[in-house]
A and B are shown apart, each in its own frame.
Chain A
Amino acid sequence: MKKFYDKLFSGITYGAAFFTIAALVGIILSIFTEGIPILKKVGIFSTLFGMEWRPVDDPPIFGMWTLIVSSIYVTIGTLVVAIPLGLGSAIYISELAGRRTKEIIKPIIELLAGIPSVIYGLVGIVFLSPFVMDTFGAPIGLNMFSASLILGIMVIPIISTMSEDALNAVPQNLRDASLSLGANKFETIYKVIIPAAKSGIIGSFILAFGRAIGETLVVLMVAGGSAQIPKSIFSPVRPMTAAIAAEMGETVVGSDHYSSLFAIAIILFFITFFSNIITELVFFRKKKI
């Protein structure tokens, strides 16, 4: 009887794992079967590098380059905001803060990760957008800068928690050795601890990158939505995820426009797929050392 329950239990867990994989395969298959027709019809090159995204004009033009560039710029902006703040707070929590401060700050930063993205979006529209217009004299508050800033704050917890784990994992004797050789705290952190925790820190950056490029709601609400190559950091942009979310609701199923949205999904899939693989590789190397 005991054996039966063991078998049943392993069967159920196997089923759960199998179902997850089946769902993933199903998602991949469906975005490819829906997205490939437009790539065949228009051609991969002119779809990827076409400068104009006018899916409902007559005749329609499906050039995704502006969307891809928008996504990349917003993501770079996000990392520019999040890396100094996230890594800085990780270093402070791990290396400099006393126990009491550490116990207060750490959960507060982690709380940021629990706020739903729609709330970030609302804050962006209602508070950040007028602020950006007043402070920087930008003609429009819904732009690349606002989206990057909001997304940056959103991914801080990813960078800070993971980097902090990596810093904590650095053996104490390395710190002691460095300090006893006469290095000060800054030199110890900068020259010994960070290099030792490098792979974990880079892993956190890549994870943050994947989160930022896949985030939809915030960019839909705050990025402005113009399909153009931005002229300045205050230009409104239309990242890939926002284009899919905004347009999918009202396209005709099976049309070229519908298919082109799935083609965007294919590009997004490849980007996140490779960033995940790189993360895995970075961590795999870390474990081997």
Chain B
Amino acid sequence: MKKLLFVIMMIAAMVAFAKKGDQITMVGSTTVLPIAQATAEAFMEMNPDMNISVRGGGSGVGVAGIIAGTCDIGNASRHIKNKELLQAKQNGVEAYENVVANDGIAVIVHKSNPVKDLTIDQLQKIYTGEIMNWKEVGGPSMPIVLVSRDVSSGTYETFETKVLKKEKLAASSLMLASNNAVATTVKDTKGAVGYVGIGYLSDNVNDVRINGITVSEKTIQDRTYPIARTLHMYTKGKPEGKVKKYIDFVLSPKGQAIVEEMGFVKVSK
């Protein structure tokens, strides 16, 4: 009984303690989530009086949170839509876009595969199951093995918006749990095509030029590479006070190092 009481008191004390200090709440995109979590942890370590709570929910939830004023920062892997801007205006909120990272996805094939170039259009047809053999895109006659990330991952989300657009992924596609699993499978499978975050490129697989552009940090930053996008943290107006302190940290060299650690590309300065 005494122990139970002690535990309850500890929890109560922790809750009371957590309420103290400056609170920042963040909701939104699952793609931005790993960046938000890692930077928030590092930031709280440096500023023990700050408390940042991070939740997922998707880009729509993040932007809606800013419009409704229920969070301090709304994470989104897309730009705010006109409709949402209008809503924000009606609520008297100015949604301010802070670009915190670049997200780029490399398309990879087996070392022995002679295909070096694909267009976005071809890639879309490959992943929807319309093109099923490498000979249709200038390779040898060999069935294409589709390798994809699981549908709930941020990498899939990026790939879906940039490549599949509104089309459906072919049901025959392998769905793997991590970037690493995709890279290993493509390395071992002659007919495979896969996609991974740029941090997972290695000499074991060949990356494919998309619309003639080789994937690299530079082509992702200047947006010439087509399967790339910016990741955002939306704030109510220009960031101020504690929110500014955090956003500044994310954009600082230390914060951007975390961004790169998470497999994304840093913001070009």
Contact = CB atoms under 8 A, between A and B. Distances in A.
B151 A140 contact: no
Interface string B137-181: 000000101000011110011000000000011011111110001
A228 B171 CA distance: 6
B174 A141 contact: no
Given A226-B173, A235-B172, A247-B150, 10 more contacts: A54-B169, A55-B151, A129-B188, A133-B188, A142-B185, A238-B175, A250-B150, A250-B153, A252-B58, A257-B152
Contact of B174 (A56, A133, A226, A249): A226
B176 A225 contact: yes
B2 to A, nearest CB: 19
Interface in B171-219: 171-177, 181, 184-185, 188-192
Interface in A109-142: 125, 129-130, 133, 139-142
A125 B180 CA distance: 12
A68 to B, nearest CB: 15
* Max chain B C-beta neighbours (<10 A), residue from A57, A140, A141, A235: A140
Contact of A250 (B152, B168, B169): B152
A214 interface: no
A133 B188 CA distance: 9
B177 A246 contact: yes
B253 interface: no
B152 A251 contact: yes
A236 B143 CA distance: 14
Interface string B28-52: 0010000000000000000000000
B189 A139 contact: yes
Contacts of B151: 54-56, 247
B57 interface: yes
A141 B175 contact: no
Interface residues of B, number: 30
Contacts of B30: 250
Nearest to B156: A56
B140 to A, nearest CB: 13
A225 B174 contact: yes
Contacts of A220: 177
Contacts of B239: none
Contact of A140 (B58, B174, B177): B174
Contacts of B184: 125
A249 B192 CA distance: 26
Contacts of B69: none
B136 to A, nearest CB: 16
**10 closest Cβ pairs, A-B complex:** A225-B175, A250-B152, A228-B171, A56-B151, A224-B174, A140-B145, A246-B150, A247-B152, A139-B145, A139-B143
A249 B152 contact: yes
Interface string A220-244: 1100111110000001101000000
Contact of B172 (A236, A246, A247, A251): A236
Contacts of B188: 129-130, 133, 141
